[in-house]
Amino acid sequence: MSQQPILVEVTRGPITESIHRGCIAVVEPDGNVIARVGDTSFVTYMRSTAKPIQMLPLIINGGADRFGFTEAELAVMAASHSGEPIHTEQVASVLNRIGLDKSYLHCGVHVPFDKTVQAELAGRTPDVLQNNCSGKHSGMLAQCMAGGFDPVNYESPDHPIQRQIKNTLATLAGIHENEIKIGIDGCSAPVFGMPVVAMARAYARLVNPAGLDSTLSAACKRVVTAMLDHPELIAGTNNRVDTDIMKIGDHTVIAKVGAEGVYTMGVLPSEKYPNGLGIAIKIEDGNDRATAPSAIETLDQLGLLNESQRGRLSSWRPKEIKNHRGIVIGELKPAFRLNLPT
């Protein structure tokens, strides 16, 4: 990988103490790149940014209607949630609808993201429902039950539902599915490697699926609506940038975090961008602390934030760094310019 430009600087007092390099792609649904920073042909994994697309086959194949999933239940399937009760209740409801219990979830356990939930655990082992990927896994199990597939190894890359997911993702990204590199995510499900620019195009087509097969197009619209109507279910109620971006966007932007410094957004068609936009960001060193400032700065440089919205997102960009006494000693601040057309 050639050296990427600096996206975020980390200051302490009067000097820059650390830097985070990376790349950003801003793409229209037809693949036209309208702005970028760095080498966006770099291949990396989508990680959890793939979740909204991973659930599309469930809708396309009729499973969502067969089980009568609510919009909230669909939203949690696209989530990297904080493990709050509003999340675990939705995942449990999905499992109840398909007649399975949580023992079928193969995502494993981890300490939930939400600080309040962490405190309530008081050292006890977290529940599998609190895994940030439990919604995605419940959706995959639903795909199995709807399609008559064995759910035992649903997370295997060779399972029929995983092949369907890969094919759908390739269609939205505008690449051949053989070009997608397969790894294993932290939750044991497949994870998809592709150029950053292809990730951006996938999100552009997710928010504007015009020209796609009518069934796929309708499924995309349903997922986007669920995300916009339930941002707290996609992320959480406290200190989650996905939630904050979608709430201040007034149903104009979907946002989704991924591990290892990956971040994606979809900008719905508007007067300024009539075709909509897909945005993908990769922080070279994988440090997630640089994703929020980069994402919000990108929206601002694209002219998508007004003064009120900037104010409501001010805690994320630049982001204050405090010491153990709560004293502000530095900040994370964007350090890039998009090469927008003049």
Identify the three-state secondary structure at position 177.
helix
Classify residue 194: in a domain, yes or no. yes
CA separation for the pair 342, 328 (Å, rounded):
38
Check which CATH number belongs to the domain holding 317 and give it.
3.40.710
Residue 341: inside a domain, yes or no? no
When pLDDT is averaged across residues 108-113 and rounded to a whole number, the result is 97
* 1 occurs within a structural domain: no
Scanning the structure block, which residue is given the tokens 């229209």? 28
Average pLDDT over residues 81-91: 98
> Per-residue pLDDT averaged across 174-191, rounded?
97
Query: Which residues sit opposite 16 in a β-bridge?
Result: 11
pTM of the model: 0.96
Q: Is residue 137 part of a domain?
A: yes
Asked if 280 contacts 199 with a C-beta cutoff of 8 angstroms, the reply is yes
For helices 214-229 and 196-207, give the axis angle rounded to 10 degrees: 90
Grouping H, G, I as helix, E, B as strand and the rest as coil, residue 82 is: coil
- pLDDT tens by residue, 207-265: 999 999 999 999 999 999 999 999 999 999 999 999 999 999 889 999 999 999 999 99
Phi, psi of 265 (to 5 degrees): -145, 150
- Containing structural domain, residue 72: 6-334
Write out pLDDT tens, residues 297-321. Answer: 999 999 999 999 999 999 998 889 9
Nearest to 180 by CA among 190, 193, 189: 193
Q: Which residue has the tokens 């609510």?
A: 70
- What angle (nearest 5°) sits at the alpha carbon of residue 232, between those of residues 255 and 133? 75
The rounded mean pLDDT for the chain is 96
Is 320 inside a domain boundary?
yes
Please give the structure tokens belonging to residue 66.
Answer: 């067969």
Residue 342 covered by a domain: no
pLDDT of the residue at 123 = 84
Q: Parallel, antiparallel, or unpaired for β 15-27 and 277-283?
A: antiparallel
Q: For residue 304, is it within any domain?
A: yes
Whether residue 38 is contained in a domain is answered as yes
Tens of pLDDT, residue by residue over 126-170, are: 999 999 999 999 999 999 999 999 999 999 999 999 999 999 999
Counted domains in the chain? 1
As beta bridge partners, residue 256 has 264
